[in-house]
Amino acid sequence: MPDARPPARPRATQAQRKATRGRPRAADPCAMVIFGATGDLTKRLVVPALYNLSRTGMLPKNFALIGVARTEGTTESWRNQLHGALESFVGAKAAEFDPDHIDEAAWGRLAQNMSYVQGDLAKPELYATLRVALDTAQEAHATEGNAIFYLAVADRLFGVVVDELGKAKLTDEDKDPEGRPRFWRRVVVEKPFGHSLDSARALNARILRTLTEDQIFRIDHFLGKDTVQSIMAFRFANGLFEPIWNRDRIDHVQITVAETVGVEARGQFYEATGALRDMVPSHVLTLISMVAMEPPTGFDAAAIRSKKADVFAAMPAVLPAEAVRGQYGPGGSAKAYRAEADVAADSNVETFVAMRFTIDNWRWAGVPFYIRTGKHMAARLTEIAICFKQAPYTAFQDTPVEALRPNWLVLGISPDEGISLQFEVKRPGQGVDLAAVKMDFRYDDAFPKEPNVGYETLLLDVMIGDPTLFMRADMIEQGWRIVKPVLDAWAETKAEFPNYASGANGPTAADTLLTDDGGRAWRPVRVKPAA
């Protein structure tokens, strides 16, 4: 019988593998449809990210951008609005790199492929018009039928839009006899993905009636930051750290996401969300999973996401006694949360949350993960701090050393991206006395600076179909399961708010959460000294 297998592909030589290793894969030709095209998210993050991809040559040459919104307008007026917003949101940052602020050639490559569709997102007529716009884009820009539908809309509309896309058959993929799509359709969903475990399950079930899991990209802009993506490289590419990355050597982990701003003009959104829903099931738990995951068998999406999901599955639900909530009051020139626009005068919504998580597996049993996130804190700071167990004190008992400080490994995510290691050295001079010093690595010192808004990598990953940095349905639901007891308890009780002043680092109960748990303490949230 003749061999029916296809001929073997010649193996790549070592030189060929080296030449292609690490090179970003080119994005497929595609059209991108933004629902909520006139909204703040589109102006402030999505379109500036597309502009930066155009500026760096990463945007596909065959690309079309279609804006969809209820607002009356034309393609020209939409272009002008976006260009003005680009100057506001990107121009000042770009001035560090380009005195002309905006690269008009890069903007032109994006702008010339734009079109605008006005209509009601709940009406089938809009989707018939959108089909025509996609067909036109395919003819004019050779998008090959590939399309991204980006839901930059209120979360209550996620299911509505996906339902209508499905009814119009705009999410259908044409597949060849081997089951590979001749063209693809993908949907990007912003957070919050649900407001509770039940609502997350219902939303997953609803959109999965129309889409397959590999068509859904649940986006979290935190994961677009280089330092966050570098956590795995730092752990698994360095033989020094992975052997001590466990309960035998690590005492505890602290994750801080502190902001100096209040809710600003987002009072209505925040009243329905709060700090816990806004930050913990998405941003914070994702950071924990990257710190705590086991080594994957490879850096493909399936392997990495499975290891992250294992972390979520090993995390017990947080008890109400392991969580602290706060709400900022007046402080300095800042007003109280309850005095913000669109906020109830007796609001029970938290603007700060601190929690204690545990992971019941062999690597992390007994190691607490403390997190805190809040608004109107002393400084803007996002960091992951790993505290190692102290060395034995016996050798220093006859010296002036009063106590040994633990070693800290700090992964700085924002605003200063880098990694620092604190350790003890002997002070110069007679006798034995110790001083804590740091070894610091800063991304800005080691690599060229490039303006970015954090969405560039994520949008490019959607275009190439790489879901590594996106949450699966089961991971979303596990996140809500973990915080469910706290959400339920807080919904049933009235808090004594406000309980921390603007510019402080949260309520005193957040400090007690650590001091009562082995006498630990939060790292200070400090303003970086002026250069």
Active site residues: 283
Local structure of residue 175 (DSSP, 8 states): B
User: Which H helix or E strand runs over 64?
Assistant: strand 63-69
Local structure of residue 238 (DSSP, 8 states): -
Q: Which two tokens stand for residue 113?
A: 């492929």
Q: Is 484 exposed, middle or buried (0-12, 13-18, 19+ CB in 10 A)?
A: middle
Q: Which two tokens stand for residue 490?
A: 């807080």
H helices present in 376-455, as ranges: 443-446
Pair 23, 58: CB distance under 8 Å:
no
Q: How many CA atoms lie within 13 A of 95 on its CB side?
A: 6
Q: Which of 171, 69, 190 is CA-nearest to residue 121?
A: 69
Phi, psi (rounded to 5 degrees) for 444: -65, -30
Q: Which of 503, 463, 491 is CA-nearest to residue 376?
A: 503
Q: What angle do CA 277, 280, 283 make, to 5 degrees?
A: 115
For residue 69, the cross-strand partners are 118
* C-alpha–C-alpha distance, residues 157 and 190, integer Å: 11
* C-alpha–C-alpha distance, residues 511 and 259, integer Å: 18
User: Which H helix or E strand runs over 473?
Assistant: helix 473-492
CB count in 10 Å sphere of residue 234: 15
Can you count the helices (H) and strands (E) in the chain? 18, 16
Long-range contacts of 404-408 (CB under 8 A, 24+ apart): 404/434, 405/434, 405/436, 406/251, 408/523
DSSP per residue, 249-271: TEEEEEEEEE-SS--TT-HHHHH
CB count in 10 Å sphere of residue 399: 12
Q: What angle do CA 229, 230, 234 make, to 5 degrees?
A: 145
